[in-house]
Amino acid sequence: MAKTTLSLSSAFRKYYKFGLATFGSVIAGSAVYLSVTPPVYQTSLQLILDEKSVSVSELGRDLAQVPGSTPTGSSPLANQAELVKAEPTLNRTVAKLASSAKVKLTADEIAEGLNVSLLPATSIFKLSYKSKDPVLAAAVLNAVAESVVEESVQGVRREAANVRKFLEVEVPKAKLRVEEAEAAENNYRRESGIVSLNDQTQNIVASISRIEEEERVVSTQLAATTTQANSLRRITQTQSISTGYTSVRKGQDEELKKIRAQLVSLDTKIGETRLRFTESHPILQDLIAQRDAMSELYNQQLARVSPSSASSSSITGNAATDEISQNFTTQLINNEVEREALENKLKVLQAQRKQLQTRLAQLPIRQQPLTTMTRKREQATASLQLLQTKLEEARIAEVQLVGNIRIMETAKQPTSPLEPKPTVVFILGGVFGSILGIGVILLLEVASNTRKDKYGVEITTSQNWGIR
């Protein structure tokens, strides 16, 4: 062990110049590498997939809403990250750089230096870009981020435009369906007479109750009137209204009263004359002739008052000559007229009640088709209102700049290169130079100990190489 250590120490003393030369060569090569190799700068920024995009319209929020993971396991965050390197995004970036920064890059060149990574357990993905120019690196990456956000916004606007175009076709159809439903409902209401089932039912029920109450009142009045009429008919011995009316007219007519008085006077005289003279006596015959003439006049006057009683042979007949009989007969006539009016009114009320009951029974039957029509009209109206609301929301979403991606921070111009790093290069060069220098020393030592001449006699390397 001691011999080996002594041998290595001796080797280092003899060949350290070769080791130092090797080490210096490696360090020099590192310096040359640093001077020849251009620096590469890298900058980065972060984008977030916003789950709660702010939009005036509900449709805009729905279109910008981040969907959940699909049953196949694909992540919306990963999908958005892949879209960063999609051709539309890169082409938009190229156009943006050409117009704003006056930089001409191709989509392939941008994609070559662009890198996308996902931050675990977040909705954030990180973009980084490498370039030899730090200003260009920041400009390109910011342009890429802006293009990603604009593509997200344009995607929402394209979806909103498609929805708008669809709704602009469907809304007129929905309006036509509503108009047809309203026309059918109105026609049926006119034909069936149904305006409002509840109101009409309440009104009919109230009318029936009112009519039934009137029927009870009229029935009570009719019963009282009938009882009174029967009593008056028994008192006056009048069989009919016309007979009673005739008797009253006969009793109240002044001409008839005078003629009846004259007839009564003539009958009295005739009776007295018969007691004094025979039937053939001229005085009696003259009185009988006067009575017959007066009777003829009475019948003529009676025909004027009551044609139906003109043939009555009785002087007084059924005439109500006294005031009491006339009053009772008048009451009977009034009572009969009132009773007949009450009977007619009761019949009208009963007919009205039956008619209303029939209408009330038919209302549910007529309401069934109307209910179906009303439901169709309400459904068509609700559908139209929904489509109109969505159409307005689609128009708003189409003009709004709302997306589901936003920039958390912009890319900054890098101050130090990503590669090559002088410190790392020189450290690695020193390590490799040291290892290589030691290797050269050991190789020379081994070579000096194993060289022999042509006669098999060992000679030292220093003699062979001319080292003194």
Ranges 76-80, 224-228, 373-377, 448-452, most confident = 373-377
Higher pLDDT, 175 or 260: 175
Rounded Cα distance between 181 and 158, Å, is: 34
Q: What is the pTM of this model?
A: 0.49
Residue 75: what pLDDT? 65
Return d(Cα 22, Cα 19) in angstroms, integer. 5
Mean pLDDT of the chain: 76
* CB burial string 63-96: b at 16+ within 10 A, e below: bbeeeeeeeeeeebbeebbebbbeeebbebbbeb
Residues 28-37: tens digit of each pLDDT: 887 777 676 7
- For the ranges 161-165, 256-260, 377-381, 460-464, the lowest mean pLDDT is seen at 460-464
Q: Which long-range contacts (CB under 8 A, 24 or more apart) does 60-69 make?
A: 60/156, 60/160, 60/393, 60/396, 60/397, 60/400, 60/402, 63/156, 63/159, 63/160, 63/163, 63/397, 64/152, 64/156, 64/402, 64/403, 64/404, 65/404, 66/123, 66/404
Q: What band does 180 get if pLDDT is binned at 50, 70 and 90?
A: very high
Residue 315: pLDDT band (50, 70, 90) is: very low
Tens-place pLDDT, residues 76-128: 667 777 778 888 888 888 888 888 767 788 888 888 888 888 888 788 888 88
